[in-house]
Amino acid sequence: MISEDLLKISSNQAVSFVDNTSDISHSIEGNENGEVDSGFSVSPGGHKYYVPFSVEDDTKPFVNKVFESLESGIEFYKVYVNLCGFEVRRSAEKTDDDDTVISKYLLCNKSGFNENNSKSVKKRRTKSSRCGCDAKMVLKFMPGKRYYVSNFVEVHNHPSVPKDCSHFLKSNHQMSTFSMNFVFDASKVNIGKSKSFRFMKELVGGYENVGATLKDFSNFDRDLKSYVGPYDGQMLIEKFKVKKETDPSFFYDYEVDSVGHITKLFWADSTSIRNYELYGDAVSFDPTFNTNKYNMVFAPFTGVDKHNKCVTFASTLLSKEDVTHFTWAFKTFLKAMGRNPICLVIDQCPAMKQAIPAVFKATDDLPATRHRLCMWHITEKFPAKATSCAKKLISWKRLKRLYGPQV
């Protein structure tokens, strides 16, 4: 169905025109009042052909033009089509026994049609940009390891991109070094691709001056994460080592599995340790934050200071929520802080219920840590857990009146 629609569109746009430049020129010249200011000419059959009239002769290729190398010829043609408002696509090439390219075809990016193969794997339906344009340049090998233009067709069957929209051409999409560094620095402070792109637009004075699109920013961010991916764990440990050198009070510990993946990670800086010394009598441990990429649980140790503000004592990443991992986290916390908390508030987790009395035991100076449940979890689960009979016996409003804001 898509190919049939494309054929209809291409027939309306007259995609099947002759390949000979002289024949096309003759058709244009034979049309009275065919040339208009908008840059296209009308053939005797009523079809529109777009010719870039505003390009200077020194930037336009012609038959028998010689280039010192294949790449220089390709770059010359790329500059030409960019000035014309078109795109170029490399196509077929022929090589000899020595793998020397003897002919190279450079086509318009709208050349040909998308094949509709029903037996192929089902692909995402996207809008096709190909309309059978025959504009091209053919380079052939000549003695002296040089290349010459054997065929050149400059007529297109589709309009060019306006000057004010030329920055949308793929050939003009190029991430500069400044843009790459900007995306990298923005990712350090948790700024995404979209905001980075908008910030860059404001810095350079407009989208047309960015030199790339939002998709280019997203692709670079994806490639950057893919490059860092296998080494992100080691980079984090190295960063902790540097932090330890600059801050002797900084504490961290970790464990890896048999393949070298981090399964347990704990860290606390000097400010967090100092806060625990002052406000560490009551500690809340909440392992309810899951990371998307690594499938690890982020569990912070938090408390409340004298200003009734939440403070963080330490943080940990755990690959599992079982007794072994919670026991390791509590032992490392005790090792970093040096004393038991008086009260530890958690949710209704059976694994932590076993790990807390095994780690936070009574000492000569302090008693064992008291295990308490979070009131927020109780108030959230009470209406669902309580039966209809219990709801009648216990008035929820009366419970709030008795315990006030704690409920």
- How confident is residue 107, by pLDDT bands cut at 50, 70 and 90? confident
365: pLDDT strictly greater than 60: yes
Q: Are 226 and 289 members of one domain?
A: no
390: pLDDT strictly greater than 50: yes
Mean pLDDT of 376-405: 61
- Inter-residue contact 374 to 347 (CB < 8 Å): yes
Q: Are 6 and 81 members of one domain?
A: yes
Q: Are 179 and 156 members of one domain?
A: no
Residues 276, 235, 241, CA angle at the centre, nearest 5°?
45
The token pair at 23 is: 């024949």
Q: Are 178 and 255 members of one domain?
A: no
| Parallel/antiparallel/unpaired status of strands 136-142 and 146-153 | antiparallel
Q: Are 22 and 110 members of one domain?
A: yes
The token pair at 287 is: 């392992």
The pTM score is 0.51
- How confident is residue 213, by pLDDT bands cut at 50, 70 and 90? confident
Q: Are 252 and 224 members of one domain?
A: no
Mean pLDDT of 323-342: 91
- Inter-residue contact 111 to 130 (CB < 8 Å): yes
Q: Are 196 and 63 members of one domain?
A: no
Find the length of the chain: 407
pLDDT tens digits, residue range 38-52? 356 666 666 676 777
Question: 389 by DSSP, 3-state: which?
Answer: helix
42 lies in some domain: yes
Q: What is the mean pLDDT of the chain?
A: 76
Which among 104, 136, 163 is the end of a domain?
163
Tally of domains in the chain? 3
- Inter-residue contact 125 to 95 (CB < 8 Å): no
What are the φ and ψ backbone dihedral angles of 279, each rounded to 5 degrees?
-125, 25
Q: Are 260 and 304 members of one domain?
A: yes
Q: Give the residue carrying structure tokens 């916390």.
A: 333
Rounded to whole angstroms, the Cα distance separating 180 from 257 reads: 34
404 lies in some domain: no
- Inter-residue contact 395 to 387 (CB < 8 Å): no
- Inter-residue contact 252 to 240 (CB < 8 Å): yes
- What range does the domain containing 205 cover? 173-230
392 lies in some domain: no
236 lies in some domain: no
Task: Report the percent of the chain where pLDDT is more than 90.
Answer: 15
34: pLDDT strictly greater than 80: no
329 lies in some domain: yes
Rounded to whole angstroms, the Cα distance separating 29 from 130 reads: 27
Q: Are 104 and 148 members of one domain?
A: yes
Rounded to whole angstroms, the Cα distance separating 82 from 84 reads: 5
403 lies in some domain: no
Indicate the residue type of 277. Answer: E
7 lies in some domain: yes
- How confident is residue 215, by pLDDT bands cut at 50, 70 and 90? confident
CB half-sphere exposure, 381, CA atoms < 13 A: 9
The pLDDT, as a whole number, for residue 265 is 93
The pLDDT, as a whole number, for residue 255 is 92
- Residue 250: C-alpha distances to residues 150, 245, 247, 279 (Å): 70, 9, 5, 18
Q: 35's torsion region: left (phi>0), alpha (psi -120 to 50) or beta?
A: beta
Q: Are 155 and 286 members of one domain?
A: no
Q: Are 17 and 136 members of one domain?
A: yes
Task: DSSP for 54-89, please give it.
Answer: TS-GGGS--TT-EESSHHHHHHHHHHHHHHHT--EE
The pLDDT, as a whole number, for residue 37 is 33
pLDDT tens digits, residue range 131-146? 778 788 888 888 888 8
392: pLDDT strictly greater than 90: no
- How confident is residue 386, by pLDDT bands cut at 50, 70 and 90? low
- Inter-residue contact 300 to 314 (CB < 8 Å): yes
- How confident is residue 293, by pLDDT bands cut at 50, 70 and 90? low
- How confident is residue 81, by pLDDT bands cut at 50, 70 and 90? confident
311: pLDDT strictly greater than 80: yes
Q: Which residues pair with 104 in a beta bridge?
A: 93, 139
Return the DSSP state at 161.
P
Indicate the residue type of 16. Answer: S
Q: Are 24 and 152 members of one domain?
A: yes
The pLDDT, as a whole number, for residue 335 is 92
83 lies in some domain: yes
The pLDDT, as a whole number, for residue 395 is 58
The pLDDT, as a whole number, for residue 315 is 93
32: pLDDT strictly greater than 60: no
Instruction: Give the 3-state DSSP-derived string for 288-305, with helices as H, strands as E and coil as C.
Output: CEECCCCCCEEEEEEEEC
